[in-house]
């Protein structure tokens, strides 16, 4: 990697880090996956920033973004697109699906049926889709970021090995570290273990201010009681 390319990648990492905080490793791995023309599978619980990471990645490259919420009743045509009859021209017109985007977020991919999951195989391997006997190329670059919840397995369909092989990386994001949370919540100096050396967090400042006001009110109440007429 040349110095110019390394500098560009570093700038992209910093740009994405502005949208998602404390996930430097996940950002780096997602950039590697995109540059290597692979696909990414994120296995983690809801609320850790999977969608935010995909959106920030697409915006950093000025690419189009589509999110597909996979459910048990989702059909392959809902992903790839469908041909609709036009009565004016008396011909079928193809209406492209959300797969025609640079960055596609397949949210909870294991909640849909294997039939719908297989609709992504050609797209992920050949960067093209075949609908009604016609092969249509997908926009470049093309990246699929699929997510699945490793905790809840009720009503899910495990991904087959043939589809897991389409993913270049399989990662977990997790919650921000203590160090990242402390930096985000306060302005004091924080060690790598998450312990604060100097300064206090905003919560501590609010608690300290509340305690001082309570102490002042208590002293005033005591003074008033001491000077009360007998």
Whether residues 126 and 221 share a domain: the answer is no
Q: Are residues 141 and 205 in the same domain?
A: no
- Do 165 and 218 lie in a common domain? no
The pLDDT averaged over each successive group of 10 residues in the chain (230 residues) is: 74 84 86 91 86 89 92 92 90 91 93 90 91 90 91 83 89 78 60 44 44 50 45
Strand partners, 142: none
90 & 111 share domain: yes
One domain, residues 150 and 51: yes
Rounded to two decimals, the pTM is 0.73
Domain count, the chain: 2
Determine the Cα–Cα distance for residues 83 and 95; give it in Å rounded to an integer: 6
Whether 67 and 101 map to the same domain: the answer is yes
* CA 170 and chain centroid, separation: 14
- For residue 60, is it left (φ>0), alpha (ψ between -120 and 50) or beta? alpha
Report helix, strand or coil for 160.
coil
Let me know the angle formed at the C-alpha of 71 by 66 and 72, rounded to the nearest 5 degrees: 145
* Range of the structural domain that residue 195 is part of: 182-226
Helices and strands in the chain: count of H runs, count of E runs: 9, 11
Enter the tokens of residue 143.
């990246």
161 and 191 assigned to the same domain: no
Check whether residue 170 and residue 197 sit in a common domain: no
Q: How many CA atoms lie less than 13 Å away from 91 in the CB half-sphere?
A: 4
CATH of the domain at 75: 3.40.50.300
Q: Please tell me the distance from the alpha carbon of residue 144 to that of residue 229, in angstroms, as a whole number.
A: 79
Q: Please indicate, yes or no, whether residues 73 and 162 belong to a single structural domain of this protein.
A: yes
- Check whether residue 32 and residue 87 sit in a common domain: yes
Among 12, 16, 30, CA closest to 173? 30
The pLDDT, as a whole number, for residue 222 is 52
Question: What pLDDT, on a 0 to 100 scale, did the predictor assign at position 168?
Answer: 93
Q: Are residues 147 and 115 in the same domain?
A: yes
- For residues 109 and 190, membership in a common domain is answered with no
Distance of CA 223 to the CA centre of its chain: 58
């Amino acid at each position: 990697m040349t110095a110019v390319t390394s500098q560009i990648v570093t700038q992209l990492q910093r740009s994405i880090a502005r949208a998602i905080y404390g996930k430097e490793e996940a950002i780096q791995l997602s950039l590697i996956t995109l540059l290597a023309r692979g696909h990414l599978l994120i296995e983690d619980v809801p609320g850790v920033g999977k969608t935010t990471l995909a959106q920030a990645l697409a915006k950093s490259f000025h690419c189009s973004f589509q999110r597909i919420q996979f459910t048990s009743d989702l059909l392959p045509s809902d992903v790839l697109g469908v041909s609709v009859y036009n009565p004016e021209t008396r011909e079928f017109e193809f209406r492209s699906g959300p797969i025609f985007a640079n960055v596609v977020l397949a949210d909870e991919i294991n909640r849909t049926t294997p039939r719908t999951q297989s609709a992504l195989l050609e797209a992920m391997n050949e960067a093209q889709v075949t609908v009604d006997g016609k092969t249509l190329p997908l926009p470049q670059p093309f990246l699929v970021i699929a997510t699945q919840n490793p905790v809840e397995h009720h009503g899910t369909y495990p991904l087959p090995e043939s589809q897991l092989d389409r993913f270049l990386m399989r990662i977990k994001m997790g919650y921000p570290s203590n160090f990242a949370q402390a930096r985000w919540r306060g302005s004091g100096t924080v060690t790598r273990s998450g312990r604060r050396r100097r300064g206090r967090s905003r919560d501590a400042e609010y608690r300290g201010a509340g305690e001082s006001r309570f102490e002042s009110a208590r002293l005033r109440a005591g003074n008033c009681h001491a000077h009360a007429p007998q």
